[in-house]
Structure 1
Amino acid sequence: MITRNTGNEVDLEDSGWLVRIPKRGPYKEPIIKINPQWGEVDKWLPLSRIVKESLKYDGTKKEKKRVEKRAQFKICSYLTPLTNAACSRLFKVLKGWDQKSSPDEKFYKALYKDLISAHKFMTGKSSTRMNYEKPGWKSLVKKSRRGFKKIKDPPYKDAMIKIEKRWGDVTVWQSLYTMKDPYTTGYYLNAFDRKYDVNENIIMQPEERQVYVMLWWRTFFLSLIVTIGCLVLAYPTAHLLATLPLKYSNLLMICVLMPFWTSLLVRIVAWMVMLQQEGVINDALVNSGILSDENRLPMMYNFTGTVIVMIQILLPFMILPIYSVMKGIPPSYMRAAQNLGATPSLAFLKVYMPQTLPGVGAGVILVFIVAIGYYITPELVGGKDGKLIGNLVAYHMQKSLNWGLAAAMGTVLLGAILILYWVYDRIVGIDNMKLA
């Protein structure tokens, strides 16, 4: 009845599961002899769903496959999300609560049984998930689980409140009520400084926790500035590459490609040396008399430094697509336009520039997409004012371990890129984009 796939599902809860059943006589001693872990009570807890499904088995081969499939599915849904798994009894009871009156004995009984019977792994992970919604949940669950073991008989309510008085606060239960569903859009709301209240209405986060909307605006604004800056510098550079004699254009191309041959970290550190207040640029301005020593420009660990460094790093991504398109435009087009009476500037605007738009579009999309998700440059030179949304994604992945919120922000970034791609396709046409 228990298959290897089911064993893999159960392994999600407690590592080390390898389900093995003797060919004959499913007796206690042979099973424990094969694997001593079957003698531990905790190892039987994840199998509760399988047991319920097993009772429906009528002995036929077809029914066996159905029961196995349902059992495996239920184990998977039971284990994820972990909060719903660890408090399955409580959340079932909470669905009938009016969210205003004080919870009665049945709520405390369900909570008691969930915390006592749940595996330590389940309560640890689920309390971490709860802590994302309301700070303090992790310590509350851990302390309660230790204290509830002293309770032997009902009534549970008074004994549980005596051990941890926070369980007598209705707002704690209201916060728990918002987590009753196994799946939630709360991560996406949190990514935009919003959350659900006790009535499941969308409201703003407290002012001290409103950080993400500002970072979204800063990320898109900085990406736009970097893209425009790269375009302003890249277009004339690409035009020079396409029109200069081969001897000089090759030398200029080496200068353009030089950053690709240098480590990104080395380039960033070089900019840190140049941009700091005691750096090369400020020293040159002071020594030339343009600035006084007291008025050195703050160009490091802020928004300005992030923009400067990102433009230099991403500039080749804008130059190369534009250059590849310009190189394919015959010079005879400009001469023909001028022979027909157009001035050089008018011929450039009416004849030459429209033909370069596919390369411009490719460069703009490429630079903007890379800039919007940049992480290492803002982390090293951005300081407090230069942090972008990518830095928060890395923070939640590596430090806070709030992977759900990190995934939600990553999904929003991906959605923004897809929208940009769609807009470009509608305006310019993706078939007209040329990278080489």
Structure 2
Amino acid sequence: MTSNSSVVSQPLLTADGIPLKVSLQRSMRRNKLRAIGLVLPPLLFLLLLFIIPIGNLLTRSVDDQLINYQMPLTFRIIEKWDRQSLPEEELFDAMSFDLATINKLLITNNSGTQVDPDDPGWRVKIPKRGPYKEPILQINPIWGEVETWLPLSKIVQNALDYQGSKKERRNVEKRAKFELCSYLTPLKNAACSKLFKVLKGWDQQTVPDEKFFKALYKDLSSAHKFLAGKSSTRLNYEKPGWKSLIKKSVRNIKKIKNPPFREAMFKIDKRWEDVTFWQSLVVMKDPYTSGYFLNAFDRKFDEGMNIVMQPEERQVYVMLWWRTLLLSFIVTMGCLLLAYPTSHLLATLPLKYSNLLMICVLMPFWTSLLVRIVAWMVMLQQEGVINDALVFSGILTDENRLPMMYNFTGTVIVMIQILLPFMILPIYSVMKGIPPSYMRAAQNLGATPSLAFLKVYMPQTLPGVGAGVILVFIVAIGYYITPELVGGKDGTLIGNMVAYHMQKSLNWGLAAAMGTVLLVAILILYWVYDKIVGIDNMKLG
């Protein structure tokens, strides 16, 4: 009895003498690691090229921190203003120090409600030719402590300790200069070269002397000019004229030696007497704003933070949203009307003919998009192939040629041709899987061919139709290159305005807001499709 129980209690072993339980655990661990290895590359691809850019898009659409770094004292004091009459001396005083000095970059509590207007450091003036150490320490005494400089020195030392080729070390040092300025200021694209140079020889123990403070002042002054330029661009989005006003004022405001600043700033530029410029500051005093989204729909905040319409001459985006939706709908329906019979032919013709037709459908994918658009431009212009053919056949007179370029009509024609394969392929993939016997059975039961097609054949093609419709509509709603080249003034869409603000006006906040709205619209469309048709029924081929 005892011998039997001892045999049972012994663990089962594999052929290698390893306990079966341990072997199974190792095998499962290997399978998990293999699965992680297979999933990790596409996960990183998705994270780097999709999730992180969308997250950046969402944050930019509400981010208004840069202007708050430029005018911390002004935005702190502006809360006391009645927002109706011209501000008093206190607000002009704050504006002059925000525009003319780098003090905000040296003070610890320099943003939002942390700003203390009574801190004497705001009003200390640093002589342009020095000395620099004493006034900087008056602004903020922590700059006289070694611990304040250590993080900056660490950035420099990490760059100097890098082992690599001469070119690689030079690039690392260049990045370190940008990292220094990024640590000291909100700017990511300004370099602190002078500070980097002096910190290379610092022993990290003694308190920095005058040359360190001179380098700090020089680099922060350069960064401050860059910050003022970027901030003036943001101000100009809110009210045209701010950019030139700030540029002119920054050049002249340092010449004001003593108060009162109010009358001195009036002499610099009469626009400081315009209360609407001051009212436009109110909507930017918070580090995060929904103003970009309001602007995307021709609305804005007034001085009382009430939502009002933009001036009539600036109301353009609502019209563009409706035009984009209308064009996307027309293009989708046009593609569906052309794709359905084409897909039916592909699915029912003999193999040798259907293969030839499929080559014709796929051929546009083998040709550059730009080449196809240019070919359409040649055909659609008033002296182009189509108009020449219509005139030659006598349908049109030479004086009545059709305008099909640089307008809404030309955009629709070209976009339908470009997006047609995206509608054909999913519909064809579904039609190819429908047995022909279904139609014959319906006709044998007494249905006419047309009734059999409507009641038996067409319902089975709906998953492919739904997939094609949502695919074409989503691509069309964000299309950019075709309206840009063919659309002209009447064919401009929201995608073109997003590109304009990203590349030319540099209003990335508004571009991000419009991109976010497009993303939400697509997600809503996807949700509606799921409720009506069901994502599980989607067939893409």
Scaled by the length of structure 2, the TM-score of the pair is: 0.65
The residue aligned with 2:100 is 116
Taking the TM superposition and a 5 Å limit, the aligned residue runs for 1:310-329 are 310-329=415-434
- Residue 80 of structure 2 aligns to a residue whose secondary structure is coil
- Residue 195 of structure 1 aligns to a residue whose secondary structure is strand
CA deviation map 1:177-210 (0-9, x unaligned): 2211111111111111111111111111111111
**Equivalent of 1:162 in 267, 285, 310:** 267
- Residue 257 of structure 2 aligns to a residue whose secondary structure is coil
The residue aligned with 2:18 is none
**Equivalent of 2:77 in 74, 93, 101:** 93
The residue aligned with 2:469 is 364
Aligned residues: 358
**Hey, what's the Cα distance between the residues in 1 that align with 2:225 and 2:86?**
28
CA deviation map 1:297-330 (0-9, x unaligned): 1111111111011101100000000000001111
1:198 aligns with 2:303: yes
By how many angstroms is 1:101 displaced?
3.1
**Hey, what's the Cα distance between the residues in 2 that align with 1:170 and 1:274?**
55
CA deviation map 1:267-311 (0-9, x unaligned): 111111111111111111111111111111111111111101110
**Equivalent of 2:388 in 283, 286, 289:** 283
Q: Bigger shift: 418-427 or 152-161?
A: 152-161
The residue aligned with 1:104 is 88
**Equivalent of 2:340 in 235, 245, 248:** 235
The residue aligned with 2:244 is 139
Q: Bigger shift: 216-225 or 157-166?
A: 157-166
1:410 corresponds to which letter in structure 2? G
- Residue 222 of structure 1 aligns to a residue whose secondary structure is helix
- Residue 271 of structure 2 aligns to a residue whose secondary structure is helix
**Hey, what's the Cα distance between the residues in 2 that align with 1:310 and 1:355?**
28
Taking the TM superposition and a 5 Å limit, the aligned residue runs for 1:176-195 are 176-195=281-300
**Equivalent of 1:307 in 412, 427, 450:** 412
The residue aligned with 2:526 is 421
**Hey, what's the Cα distance between the residues in 1 that align with 2:263 and 2:329?**
59
The residue aligned with 1:73 is none
The residue aligned with 1:151 is 256
1:117 corresponds to which letter in structure 2? T
CA deviation map 1:319-361 (0-9, x unaligned): 0000000011111111111111111111111111111000000
**Hey, what's the Cα distance between the residues in 2 that align with 1:165 and 1:287?**
64
CA deviation map 1:124-145 (0-9, x unaligned): 1111100000011011111111
1:335 aligns with 2:448: no
- Residue 95 of structure 1 aligns to a residue whose secondary structure is helix
Unpaired runs of at least 5, structure 1? 1-78
- Residue 308 of structure 2 aligns to a residue whose secondary structure is strand
By how many angstroms is 1:431 displaced?
0.6
Structure 1 or 2, whichever has the larger Rg, is: 2
By how many angstroms is 1:418 displaced?
0.6
**Hey, what's the Cα distance between the residues in 2 that align with 1:271 and 1:145?**
51
Structure with larger RCO (C-alpha < 8 A, sep 6+): 2
Taking the TM superposition and a 5 Å limit, the aligned residue runs for 1:206-217 are 206-217=311-322
The residue aligned with 2:137 is none
2:416 corresponds to which letter in structure 1? I
By how many angstroms is 1:170 displaced?
2.0
The residue aligned with 1:129 is 234
**Equivalent of 1:84 in 48, 65, 68:** 68
Unpaired runs of at least 5, structure 2? 1-62, 103-223
By how many angstroms is 1:176 displaced?
1.5
- Residue 84 of structure 2 aligns to a residue whose secondary structure is coil
**Equivalent of 1:382 in 470, 482, 487:** 487
**Hey, what's the Cα distance between the residues in 1 that align with 2:295 and 2:498?**
13
1:238 corresponds to which letter in structure 2? S
2:67 corresponds to which letter in structure 1? T
**Hey, what's the Cα distance between the residues in 1 that align with 2:86 and 2:484?**
47
Taking the TM superposition and a 5 Å limit, the aligned residue runs for 1:43-54 are none
2:77 corresponds to which letter in structure 1? V
Scaled by the length of structure 1, the TM-score of the pair is: 0.80
CA deviation map 1:84-110 (0-9, x unaligned): 001001100111222123311211111
By how many angstroms is 1:116 displaced?
1.3
Runs of 4+ with deviation above 3 angstroms: none
By how many angstroms is 1:80 displaced?
6.4
The residue aligned with 1:35 is none
**Hey, what's the Cα distance between the residues in 2 that align with 1:395 and 1:80?**
20
The CA RMSD over aligned residues, in Å, is: 1.2
